[in-house]
């Protein structure tokens, strides 16, 4: 009987040992660096049906704080990027700089010199990182700025209305 009570106590203790009070879907120890494949998009919380070629889009985050978004090439630029399984589609890199907050909660996409005053202002999109795990990345646009630089982002950014917030959902390749 004592063995059964002790076994039950150990079992209950082990159940609670794995629990955490943190409901966050982001892990501060996970790196965004690596290659990600787009799995779905939402606009204002509503699913956007991906076109055949869009299913081959993705992002490659480099340690040098550069991200190469792999997007369908609608402007016919060179060089063309070939995505496995999507050989009939035309892709290109859309490179930009990025910064990520220390706690993995916010991602800034920065296109230097392409803001309101070309060559001076930066175009910045602020993403809330909703999920960042070793396998999943989910980012949502929450603000944007076309004036100033990353140093002025708090003063110059405008919130994006909820119905216009774009959510990008990726899986790690």
Rounded to whole angstroms, the Cα distance separating 169 from 36 reads: 9
Rounded to whole angstroms, the Cα distance separating 113 from 89 reads: 30
**Whole-number pLDDT of residue 6:** 37
- Report pLDDT digits (tens) over 116-140: 998 889 999 999 999 999 999 999 9
In the chain, the largest separation of any two C-alpha atoms, in whole Å, equals 79
Which H or E run includes 17? Answer: helix 2-17
pLDDT exceeds 70 at position 63: yes
**Whole-number pLDDT of residue 95:** 94
Locate the domains of the chain by residue range.
27-172
| DSSP single-letter state for residue 41 | E
| CB neighbour list of residue 97: distance below 8 Å, 6 or more residues apart | 65, 66, 67, 109, 110, 111, 112
Of all residues in the chain, what percent carry a pLDDT higher than 70? 84
| DSSP single-letter state for residue 163 | G
Which of the four pLDDT bands, split at 50, 70 and 90, describes residue 80?
confident
Mean pLDDT of the chain: 86
**Whole-number pLDDT of residue 4:** 39
| 125: number of Cβ within 10 Å | 20
| CB neighbour list of residue 132: distance below 8 Å, 6 or more residues apart | 25, 26, 27, 30, 32, 104, 138
| 112: number of Cβ within 10 Å | 15
Task: Please give the CATH topology (third level) of the domain spanning 27-172.
Answer: Lipocalin (2.40.128)
Rounded to whole angstroms, the Cα distance separating 44 from 7 reads: 50
Q: Please name the residue ranges forming H helices in 26-173.
A: 153-156
Rounded to whole angstroms, the Cα distance separating 46 from 152 reads: 32
pLDDT exceeds 50 at position 1: no
In this prediction the pTM is 0.81
| DSSP single-letter state for residue 173 | -
- Report pLDDT digits (tens) over 88-97: 899 999 999 9
Backbone phi and psi for residue 9, each to the nearest 5 degrees, phi listed first? -65, -40
């Amino acid at each position: 009987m004592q063995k059964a009570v002790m076994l039950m106590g150990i079992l209950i203790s082990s159940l609670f040992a794995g629990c955490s009070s943190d409901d966050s879907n982001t892990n501060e120890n996970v790196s965004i660096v690596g290659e990600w494949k787009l799995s779905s998009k939402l606009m204002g919380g509503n699913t956007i049906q991906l076109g055949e070629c869009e299913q081959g889009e993705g992002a490659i985050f480099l340690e040098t704080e550069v991200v190469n978004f792999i997007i369908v090439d609608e402007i016919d630029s060179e060089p063309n990027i070939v995505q496995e399984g999507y050989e009939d589609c035309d892709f290109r890199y859309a490179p930009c700089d990025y910064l990520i907050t220390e706690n993995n909660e916010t991602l800034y996409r920065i296109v230097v010199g392409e803001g309101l005053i070309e060559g001076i202002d930066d175009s910045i999109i602020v993403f809330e990182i909703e999920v960042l795990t070793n396998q999943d990345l989910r980012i949502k646009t929450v603000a944007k700025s076309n004036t100033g630089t990353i140093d002025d982002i708090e003063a110059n950014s405008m919130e994006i209305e909820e119905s216009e917030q774009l959510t990008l959902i990726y899986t790690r390749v």
